[in-house]
Amino acid sequence: MNFSRFDHAMMRRALDRAAKGLWTTTPNPRVGCVVTLGEQVIGEGWHEIAGGPHAEVRALENVNAEGATVYVTLEPCSHTGRTPPCADVLIGKKVKRVVAAMRDPNPQAAGGAERLRGAGIVFESGLLEAEARELNIGFVSRMTRRRPWVRLKVAATLDGRTALEDGRSQWITGPQARRDGHEWRARACAILTGIGTVKVDNPQLTVREVKTPRQPLRVVIDSRLETPHDARILQGERVLVFAAREGRVPNADVVVLPNAHGKVELPQMLEALAERGINELHVEAGFRLNGSLVREGCVDEFLVYLNPSFLGDTAQGMLDLPAPAGLDARLKLKLVSTTQLGGDLRLLARPAASST
């Protein structure tokens, strides 16, 4: 499909608007919308918060959109949820053309394209689709795979060490990298750690370095329910604990998902999180849990902060993984991006076999 330079510019504008909801729309997708008449922008908006007006409704407020073109980053919905169908709003406004970056992966909401076409409105899609999918990578994962997009964060030295032999790790990276890590926390729906990290570091696991309108759900994997009752992670908003046996933890909901080895069944845990509306899961754990998540195919993306220093052979590594039989059997990654943050380097990488 041939899209004009103006089409591209307006969709990029819509994507910029969608990104304004990066930290607030969960469990809904991040969506932006721009309305034009000729080559003049007459309205724009974005989805700000779940339960609030959708991007198309915001963009069309107080706008005479008859004959207009609407650029939206996600196919307009066709179902009634907490808000009416956006497709019907567009039809009622008598717009002429709708351009969507991507089709809606949610089977309950899809069908807007057919509804619009049935009303005589031109519908086109696929413009900057890759960018739109990246913006909603967690929502797409939950809709199509019934599991959140799992991002594993690690801060390490150049020799791949994350902590001293006794577990001390504060601080391997500098303040700019730590602030950036909190921005990634803020965009996630939930932050996950293990009981080992709770015991050694006693983390709060909250967003603190940046302003955020909400705190992600905090999740702990604690097979034997050993979380100390005075742990800082249990303070504040309620916590979700996955365990392998029945029991209680103060200020926490306990979900029991045992596997055959008396540990938590990790893939099933991801399904349970998806059922709770978790799109993006941010992991900050120790090398043993990191390794278990990788071995069981639960990690989609690696967020690695590298500091130009060395800790030596006795320090802890990034992942507890068995040695491969040969170089060809090693876990291979593909780089998505590299960014320098002060004196540190941030790498974003995905398993090379990933199709995303």
pLDDT at 214: 92
For 320-348, the DSSP string reads --PPPSSGGGS--EEEEEEEEETTEEEEE
What is the C-alpha separation between 215 and 239, in angstroms, rounded? 11
β partners of residue 194: 221
The pTM assigned to this predicted structure is 0.92
pLDDT at 87: 92
Question: Which of these is catalytic: 48, 56, 75, 301?
Answer: 56
Compute CA distances 295 → 234, 267, 290, 291, whole Å. 29, 11, 9, 6
122, 97 Cβ separation under 8 angstroms: yes
Residue 56 designated active-site: yes
14, 204 Cβ separation under 8 angstroms: no
What is the C-alpha separation between 338 and 322, in angstroms, rounded? 27
Strand order in the sheet with 149-157: 252-256, 239-243, 217-221, 190-194, 280-283, 149-157, 301-307, 344-351, 333-341
Strand order in the sheet with 97-100: 40-46, 32-37, 69-72, 97-100, 122-125
pLDDT digits (tens, 9 = 90+) for 276-300: 999 999 999 998 999 999 999 999 9
- Fold of the 5-135 domain: Cytidine Deaminase; domain 2 (3.40.140)
pLDDT at 168: 63
> Residue 217: helix, strand or coil by DSSP?
strand
pLDDT at 27: 94
For the chain, the domains span 5-135, 147-351
How confident is the chain (356 residues) per 10-residue block, as mean pLDDT?
94 98 94 96 94 93 94 89 84 96 88 93 97 97 97 91 69 92 96 95 93 95 96 96 96 96 96 98 94 95 93 78 80 93 96 70
- Domain spanning 147-351: CATH superfamily: Dihydrofolate Reductase, subunit A (3.40.430.10)
β partners of residue 264: 258
How many residues are given for the chain? 356
